[in-house]
Amino acid sequence: MVISGKTRVCGVIGDPIEHTLSPIMHNAAFKALKLDFAFLAFKVKAADVEKAVSGMRALGIHGLNVTMPHKSAVINYLDEVDQAAKAIGSVNTILNKDGRLFGFNTDGVGALQALRENGVEPRGKKVLLLGAGGAARAIAYTLAREADELVILNRTAKQAAELANLLKQTFDRKVVADTLSPNAIKDTLQDSDVLINATSVGMKPNANQTPVAFEWLRPDLAVMDIVYNPVETKLAKDAKAAGAKVVSGFEMLIYQGAASFEIWTGHSAPVEVMRHAALNHLLKV
């Protein structure tokens, strides 16, 4: 990679940021397509989000990914935000177009693409979503247009109810909210077709944890855990052992990254290159 005065700079902001796989994925993709781009990671504290966005504008940084905990805060400093990102109050991708900053959220489309590319079609199905945080909101917004019924369980019932009401008003679909509890998971799973864990349960260093008991899983269920570190969570292992169809959170990571790449470059993302680079890095750490 040769850096010059013509090189377009993209990056990711968050805190913490050391764990991010975005530079690995995107620099590999830029190299594969011979694009004069470079991708960096920037640690930005919550108090400095406005300064970071102003810096993006001033320095002519072409694109940014936004990760926790800044996905909501950045919205206040952008010129335009697309409909989905505005509705869920969460931006994970920014494009600098001639000094105007445009906000998008690719988490939902990334999740949907990951499901479909792995043989899971949520259209017309009953989907159980665990969690109502930033990524969960994006997933819910996308799947509410596809699923026949969406059930959202969250530790804070009010947050789940607010999200469900938004989706019902926006899409006129059946969306149910309840408190995240073992009984609610067990009862809802009995007639669900797809289960998506959008909580942090099972993430390293607590890789032995799962929100779903093994005996509640079954072969005709599709399971996606958006946790990607470890690549195979306990929930994913249990679901596989139960004969269920399993989609890794790693796949969602790749496809949301691919969607961001396409927003910045206008080129189709080299998905296999991105997957290979990120997976190799994950398996080394």
Residues, the chain: 285
Catalytic residue at 234?
no
Compute the distance between CA of residue 26 and CA of residue 274 in angstroms, rounded to an integer: 7
Compute the distance between CA of residue 39 and CA of residue 1 in angstroms, rounded to an integer: 11
Q: Which of 71, 158, 204, 234 is catalytic?
A: 71
Residue at token pair 């958006």: 226
Cα-based distances in Å from 62 to 93, 100, 110, 166, 203: 11, 10, 21, 32, 31
179 CB neighbour count, 10 Å cutoff: 14
Q: Are 238 and 210 in contact (CB under 8 A)?
A: yes
Residue at token pair 């400093």: 77
> Could you give the residue numbers annotated as active site?
71
